[in-house]
Structure 1
């Protein structure tokens, strides 16, 4: 009976008063997760009802941090809003600038693929050469594509966000968990992004020369019907940790989950499960000691950088 009463209270607060919960967190930079919500391995996080930018839970949700391949959600949004034809064949050209990190790809330089499929493998399989090619093939060119990414972020009110490349290989691509809720909600309006990002498996067809490659989704949760994943993107860089943004079914509601900077490969998925259980029952859950220590170290590093920045400005 006590468990059910707690669950009812949590759902009342979350589904009826999201603005109030968010207002208590906005601008704080740090939210006490032990009091406000579930225990998470992710250093930065945000949770909102799909379609709303008001957070029902946040953890360091206004801290700008590297976001790795979560970047590709904005890349997809810019591609679709450019209205470039999705059936156009794009050429995978050799990079005109060096990649900021390892950019190995199985795709052959000079081969071609339709823009729709290039976008699909960039989202579902986080194919970096695909994301680069989408930007390189932008009607206004590569630099104009980056400008469009930042202009779109500004128009969405993503004040803690900036982009310098379309793949997420650069640690200079920064955003906040709260900003990424805005991005996910905007991206969710496009059926192509919802479909492509949640494709489980895909065999890509190339021409000149003709060959095929198999691709798998980087988020294991898209294969589980109980999650009802409607949009998904994972990311990883050493500077960004493990990241995940997702729209999924949690207790009969479509929920946006943003998880940034986790230690382990499966930690974001574990956090998603903890959030789902918290929404259902109020249970805060537990995270491994290694994850807690990692979060303490990263928080200390973030705070040190912030302190140094403030000191330099004073």
Structure 2
């Protein structure tokens, strides 16, 4: 026997369901550009300016790690830190002494977990064919992954000419997640690097605070920052029993990507879109205007 609901009650139910779907479709994020997808299917469930080509800062180092590992060079090999043959595009401060040596696996670890730029640079210098061959391999791998809106000019991310989209970086994260070493190295909480010739050690900490929280189950992580790129985070973490890729680009403050990750998690659990601070909204308006202006200038040339 069918139960007929009063018209006003039926309308209320439909409106409530519609509101729930609307809120579930639109989490509020401080990041100006973002993409989110489950690892098991790769389909975007959040896309905010996901096709916009932008600088990606040290998120670049995920591609660096991919190229290093797929070269199958020995991870236990000791490598020398050569003097730079090219000036760095931005501040490249390092505590590492030129001429000292470190194992390839440890260079890769500190490049990922602590964003050590000299380590990423040195990995490229020791690639078969040298630095230029390494950068070429980065771009070849991007094409192979279908990252059609991405380009790489250096292995560190210090150049703002390393550019990609949030959607392309989901593809990169999915590929990187296939390598257990990238997951392990990028989520190391702390690490003591051992060097030789001369012998010394340096302590490193992870640049993503969420790897220190067991409740997040972070399986892969890379942060990034340049003035041109804002605060960036690419992360794979467990949400609701499934692995979720977060790509959060150009955020206002150092904790904004972390706040966005929390908003995404709550949105998936409750459907609540969350709130973003007024300063972050103002930053987004300003950055969107700058992107629009840059695109207009580029089209006019």
Place the TM-score, normalised by the shorter chain, in its bin. over 0.9
SS at match of 2:151: coil
Other-structure match for 1:21:
none
Alpha-carbon RMSD across the aligned residues, in angstroms, is 1.7
SS at match of 2:293: helix
TM-score by length of 1: 0.88
1:181 aligns with 2:181: no
1:64 to 41, 48, 53: 53
1:282 aligns with 2:271: yes
Deviation at 1:303, TM superposition (A): 1.1
Query: Structure 1: any 5+ residue segments left out of the alignment?
Result: 11-32
Do the aligned partners of 2:82 and 2:98 also contact (CA within 8 Å) in 1? yes
SS at match of 1:233: strand
Do the aligned partners of 1:68 and 1:237 also contact (CA within 8 Å) in 2? yes
Moved more, 301-310 or 219-228: 301-310
Other-structure match for 2:245:
256
Other-structure match for 2:133:
144
1:124 aligns with 2:124: no
Deviation at 1:182, TM superposition (A): 0.1
Within 5 Å, give how 1:43-62 maps onto structure 2. Answer: 43-62=32-51
2:287 to 285, 298, 304: 298
SS at match of 1:199: coil
Do the aligned partners of 1:91 and 1:112 also contact (CA within 8 Å) in 2? yes
Other-structure match for 1:211:
200
Deviation at 1:37, TM superposition (A): 1.6
1:113 aligns with 2:124: no
1:167 to 132, 145, 156: 156
1:155 aligns with 2:144: yes
Deviation at 1:215, TM superposition (A): 0.3
SS at match of 2:66: helix
Other-structure match for 1:245:
234
2:186 to 186, 197, 211: 197
Superimposed CA distance per residue, residues 114-155 of structure 1 (whole angstroms, 9 cap, x where no aligned partner): 000000000000000000000011112100000000000001
2:90 to 101, 105, 110: 101
Do the aligned partners of 2:24 and 2:273 also contact (CA within 8 Å) in 1? no
Distance in 1 between residues matched to 2:298 and 2:128, nearest whole Å: 38
Do the aligned partners of 1:52 and 1:185 also contact (CA within 8 Å) in 2? no
TM-score by length of 2: 0.92
Segments of 4+ moved more than 3 angstroms: 33-36
Deviation at 1:253, TM superposition (A): 1.2
Superimposed CA distance per residue, residues 180-202 of structure 1 (whole angstroms, 9 cap, x where no aligned partner): 00000000000000000000000
Deviation at 1:311, TM superposition (A): 3.4
Distance in 1 between residues matched to 2:176 and 2:30, nearest whole Å: 26
Other-structure match for 2:218:
229
Distance in 2 between residues matched to 1:267 and 1:184, nearest whole Å: 20
Distance in 1 between residues matched to 2:108 and 2:40, nearest whole Å: 23
Larger radius of gyration: 2
Distance in 2 between residues matched to 1:35 and 1:84, nearest whole Å: 45
Superimposed CA distance per residue, residues 78-123 of structure 1 (whole angstroms, 9 cap, x where no aligned partner): 0000111101001011100000000000000000000000000000
How many residues were matched structurally?
Answer: 286
SS at match of 1:235: strand
Distance in 2 between residues matched to 1:100 and 1:41, nearest whole Å: 27
Other-structure match for 2:62:
73
